[in-house]
Structure 1
């Protein structure tokens, strides 16, 4: 047994996420937490008993009971579990994990003892994603003054040059295009309903955990940073495949969901609708400390500005301890047009047993422009996804299918292919 086996790594993670690097380092070095007294024993020694008395953002997924089972939301481990592997998760929305772990590794001599904390498990041993006969899943590269990104495009088997809709899918931290495609099953839906799916890849060179940098001001602007790269990829796909420029959509999970909200706010002339799963509103944070505040539910709602409102659909679990549920409300509030909307609320239960509340807001023409799904008992995971990908909850309603239903009801009549 090495020295690190007695360290409460859950408490180290909590302190890291709270920005308390001195205290976290003390635990890693086996020291007493600064500021503790004889009346307040070292919290690390109390383990789960102490942790249960407090609340903070953490990994809220339950490990499968058997090899190959699905990772499920905390407190909701029942329901079907499909085959496949899913990694031990790190919080998809946390921007500081890589930075903090780099700091720790540079300051602690025996870094090999806990190096697995910073590993990207999502790609380990991942097999190529299968596609239907005649379909293609191909990689491309796009570059502009902001940098370069690779991306994968799914082309359905019955594509013959017709002007198809385009769906941009922005993965969460530690994920990649193949992993995200497997978990969301969006390619399977595209093959069935005939549309193009595009998966931009966030490299470790841009963020060590491969998170989209939603919390950086420079990546919340139209004419630079990551928004310009994502928009450029969308335009490149439109050009290459003669796609329909009026039916281009963007969706994402966690950090990718926050990036999707940014794309809707910065490029309303490109995207006809937006899907945000377990994400945050554009401008909810502008640096690392405000990112944690926003994820905890303390973020501010930034004005959408002069751009038109983009129809938006939101999915969020009410037991999500990584990104607080209020962030879903804030995404809806930011996307709300300045007109009177009629509201309809329904309650239901997915085939897997998860209950949900669905709120739809419609304009005077009867068109649904805002749709919000609150998933009861769900954590930080793609609802209704496949366990062959990471961060999915197969028990929930099918977010991919519902997003596509919402998307295809909207077209952007003012869309142009040049920006």
Structure 2
């Protein structure tokens, strides 16, 4: 696959994935087309050497893997981890608001959202709806309004002359999007029922609850005189999900290869579907039931936690350590933190540098300024939960946690090449 083909597939995936539920659905389609077999958590599993499988939890987290042709005890697993969620505005359970003739929805801030860019954007709504069907059974369906149905207008500069100097955002009062005008407060659940019917779900008797978020309807695209950049919502961290998925799909079954994409990373990962939950550990226990053999296999395993990094912004270069300012399109970034906010150590970073050298792609490193706090990833969590050697790496980007982010059009492709080699490497 060429870089151009890779990037086109990437923007297609981003367009299909406005929520973690849709992202997992998109991954399931691609895995199924490649011959991966779905396993249900409530069923008995019978995995075979050379088999290709996936399992979904909560509709928003997924683990896909290939069983090695040889014993998993001998080869262990090469694992890549990412997360499916992104900071956003989520619709509250009783969201309807009617003020001055405008219909609005109350929202809750999910994760560390950069709020200013959400104003004056064409917004839509997507997510999962839970309902009772005509037969009295409980069911779920994905919903996506697709078109722009809402907006959060800015307050005019004439009414706030200090806006460009100091405008803080009150999440409770400033953020409810406007969906239209009406004489009375509409029933949002009735609107969801209508939308599901438009999408072909005709058995909805009553909508009970939902997990919905607003998203920007502007499509992903390329920016720059020479298309140097990819611009899109949710690059953090659907970009890494796609990179890992592409690498897994192009791998063989000579070694055990596994991709885990967890939900809820942006809010701490502590959930049944999050990295701090038991999902990965439970899958490994079912794939390798004998504890002695599993622990020996894990000693031969390796995890690459892929989560985007902060590229050095030319207008704010002082926010970076002078020796550790990653530049976009100059390679994926090895993330290091002495206080274990990242799981990288010298052994794990050396393996990545070796693989990158074999693929002839550049590598950078990132350490946060010593006078600033450091974020984290699923890497330290996975390392602590299953005791596996782990590397934290990521594609450098701008505007992390904004409604529209920016990454390099070469970096994702190059990282995918290294991960593809990683999945088939005999010794790690």
Q: How would you bin the TM-score normalised by the shorter chain?
A: 0.3 to 0.5
Counting strand residues as a fraction of each chain, which structure ranks higher?
2
Please give the TM-score of this superposition, normalised by the length of structure 2.
Answer: 0.33
TM-score normalised according to structure 1 size: 0.33
Which structure has more RCO (C-alpha within 8 Å, separation ≥ 6)? Answer: 2
